[in-house]
Amino acid sequence: MNQNAAVVKTMPDAQTVTSVQHWTDRLFSFRVTRPQSLRFRSGEFVMIGLLDERGKPIMRAYSIASPNWDEELEFYSIKVPDGPLTSRLQHIQPGDQIILRPKPVGTLVLDALLPGKRIWFLATGTGLAPFASLMRDPDTYERYEQVIMMHTCREASELEYGRQLVESLKDDPLIGEMVGDKLLYYPTTTREASDRMGRITDNLTSGKVFTDLGIPQMNMEEDRAMVCGSLQFNIDVKNVLESFGLREGANSEPLEYVVEKAFVGDGI
Ligand code: FAD
Ligand code: A2P
């Protein structure tokens, strides 16, 4: 246990790290104890953090990657070398403490969409996190006949957390049967050669993903979508979805798609 963690333990809202897995030099996932009182809807985010050397909390938004039935909470994180939080967070170990404010919020919730036939989860990088939760929620499979997970990264190694998660769902004793063959996984790389390549925007616009999966072109009657990536990715995907006739909804006004930023950056 590191020194920083020992200090945090005296703070309210401290939770204990139970496991950590490093996927690449820029990506890791970890699990923490769940506050007994915490209820959340799959797809929501909370504020988590650590104390700096002066004892001041450094808090950041994090999507909960685990489903709402899980006893623990899982997070999927970037490592920004000089990032105020993740330059430290990347060194956490089981037994360490983090701060977790138990106030979940967010737009990527099933209630913000009208009923439909198919739901599309469109993510780049750590934007997969809210969908790691939603892909494990029985409600997703009760509401939709098909669930399509498009995840795009530069290199294949960055897809590995999502790939293993999807793979594990088939044999999951709790939801394996519900998932069945309803979940269609469509991972692509853009900079490293792999079986499937290309940006999500390009694969939607060209119609390649519809052909590959043997499903009709996206349309407002049957298709619903959730988007999570960089600001520019979100803007570009929104334009593609609107070109298929889908409209942006919200908790207060459910429509055909919803969007959330995976991070705030690049001066925005
Ligand atoms: P910061 O000062 O916060 O960021 C420094 C720079 O790093 C940013 O300007 C940006 O260019 C880049 N950056 C930050 N986060 C990312 C990222 N995730 N992917 C690529 N580049 C990034 N981050 C996660 O890792 N997992 C999550 O589940 C997650 N959920 C979020 C949900 C919401 C609603 C928002 C707004 C952000 C979320 N983030 C998530 C980003 C997170 O809040 C922090 O920005 C991130 O942990 C880095 O913190 P930092 O203090 O080290 O660096
Ligand atoms: P590309 O390699 O063509 O830029 P990043 O690592 O820069 O955050 O990008 C993560 C993934 O998202 C990469 O595969 C990248 O493709 C893709 N991407 C970045 N910006 C956009 C965008 N505006 N529209 C579609 N895909 C994007």
Atom of ligand 2 nearest to the CA of 152: 14
How many CB atoms within 10 Å of residue 155?
A: 15
Q: pLDDT digits over 52-65, tens only?
A: 999 999 999 999 99
Residue 22 in domain = yes
In a domain, 267, yes or no: no
Q: Is 18 in the pocket of ligand 2 (CB under 6 A)?
A: no
Residue 49 lies in a domain: yes
Is 158 touching ligand 2 by the criterion CB < 6 Å? no
Q: What is the CATH number of the domain that holds 14?
A: 2.40.30.10
Res 265: pLDDT: 78
Which residue in 89, 92, 1 sits closest to 47, CA to CA?
89
Q: Is 268 contained in some domain?
A: no
**265 ligand 1 Cβ < 6 A:** yes
| Ligand 1 and 46: CB distance under 6 A | no
Domain that holds residue 114: 110-261
Label the pairing between strands 57-63 and 14-22.
unpaired
Give me the CATH number covering residue 227: 3.40.50.80
ipTM of the complex: 0.99
Q: Which residues of the chain have pLDDT under 70?
A: 1-10, 266-268
The pLDDT score that the predictor gives to residue 140 is 98
177's CB contacts (< 8 A; 6+ apart) are none
Q: Which residue among 22, 263, 264, 266 has the greatest number of ligand 1 atoms within 8 angstroms of its CB, and so is best to mutate?
A: 263
Tally of domains within the chain: 2
